[in-house]
Amino acid sequence: MFERLSKLEKRYKELESLLSDPKTLQDKNLYAKHAKEFAALGVITNKHKEYVSVVQELKKIAEMLKSKDHQNDKDFLELANQELSEMEAKKADLEHQLENLLIEDDGTTHKNVIVEIRAGTGGEEAALFTADLYRMYAKYAAKSGWKIEVMGSRPTSIGGFKEVIFSIQGVNAFKKLKYESGVHRVQRVPATEASGRIHTSAVSVAVLPEPEEVEVNIDPKDLKVDVYRSTGPGGQGVNTTDSAVRITHMPSGIVVSCQDERSQIKNKAKAMRVLRARILDKIQSEQQNKISQQRKSQVGTGDRSEKIRTYNFPDRRVTDHRIGLTLHKLELILDGGLEEISAALLEEEKKIKLKQWKKE
């Protein structure tokens, strides 16, 4: 742990120097990126300084207790031992806080996110559950004080979504939502089912940290931009102009479309945000595949084909398969009550990382 803290303090000092560099001051995007990292590292660095101060104070008290000058002074010994006990408790508390801060600090904790939900097996029922999950995350975002913005969607005629993509902006958004990536399974009697049989459908969720522009440098020459007329429901004017945008990133083959806005410029801006997130995700996935140890420090494998959660309507039950957590609170959870699941997943990842650190 302390080796990691030493590296972070070195980076903190490096950022302090970079933020006063004229080249950095001239580049607003780069300055903002460094300032955000500097602020995040400042929390850990200051906490470590507090810890070091407590450790030094403990050494002083221990030396005084060993001193022959005070061996016969009962009042002094009593006070010193009391202070020693208090400082040891404070030291243990600060160690716990530092562990939590280090586990959270993976470079993406404080980022905003882009969430992509897609209907899988189950036809219209899967599309309806896609809409249910979107509402769940929207309500969770509202409860957490986060801002949500729809980036693109493909609605169905009966109120579902084949696909919905949206951004969530706010403190700790990625930290609390990063475990949602994977396959979400629903078991219920579909509204479209006349015989009353329980069906199982699946929806895939991808949670991508939204990068700053300076983190993913996209060469305009690598982009193929197509404009076309919007399709589907959208209101007067949306389907009468070439406002929809499709962007293809030629090197990676990633394609992003956006048609929710009436303005071609706004659709292109939203599509570029999604494109940056997908490219960063692709780069990070390739890195994780090369570093198998990084996989072992996560809850689950992080594979989007992994079934992570089942929502069983007849039993009002939600089960997270990665940690074996079952809650009979289906309505509460679908109403945005994800706090208990999120906290349990965070705690499990903490345990995994601490075990890994002890082995290293």
Containing 332, the helix (H) or strand (E) segment is helix 330-334
DSSP designation for 20:
T
State yes or no: pLDDT of 254 exceeds 80: yes
What average pLDDT score do residues 115-134 get?
94
Q: Decide: 131 and 161 in contact? Cβ < 8 Å.
A: yes
State yes or no: pLDDT of 107 exceeds 90: no
What average pLDDT score do residues 205-228 get?
84
What average pLDDT score do residues 72-100 get?
88
Q: Decide: 311 and 187 in contact? Cβ < 8 Å.
A: yes
Burial of 123 (0-12, 13-18, 19+ CB in 10 A): middle
- Residue 340 or 236, more confident: 340
- When pLDDT is cut at 50, 70 and 90, the band that residue 104 belongs to is low
State yes or no: pLDDT of 214 exceeds 70: no
- Residue 291 or 311, more confident: 311
The confidence score (pLDDT) of residue 149 equals: 93
Among 178, 173, 105, smallest CA distance to 142 is for 173
Least confident stretch, 180-184, 214-218, 254-258, 270-274:
214-218
What average pLDDT score do residues 242-253 get?
90
- Residue 74 or 127, more confident: 127
pLDDT 10s digits, 318-338: 999 999 999 999 999 999 999
Question: How far is 169 from 284, CA to CA, in rounded Å?
Answer: 21
Coil, strand, or helix at residue 72? coil
Q: What mean pLDDT value characterizes the chain?
A: 85
Which structure tokens are listed for 140? 């969770």
The confidence score (pLDDT) of residue 287 equals: 62
Q: Which amino acid appears at position 64 of this protein?
A: M
State yes or no: pLDDT of 167 exceeds 50: yes
The confidence score (pLDDT) of residue 296 equals: 47
State yes or no: pLDDT of 227 exceeds 80: yes
Q: Are strands 182-188 and 307-312 parallel, antiparallel or unpaired?
A: parallel
Coil, strand, or helix at residue 133? helix
Q: Which amino acid appears at position 180 of this protein?
A: E
- When pLDDT is cut at 50, 70 and 90, the band that residue 301 belongs to is very low
State yes or no: pLDDT of 295 exceeds 90: no
State yes or no: pLDDT of 63 exceeds 60: yes
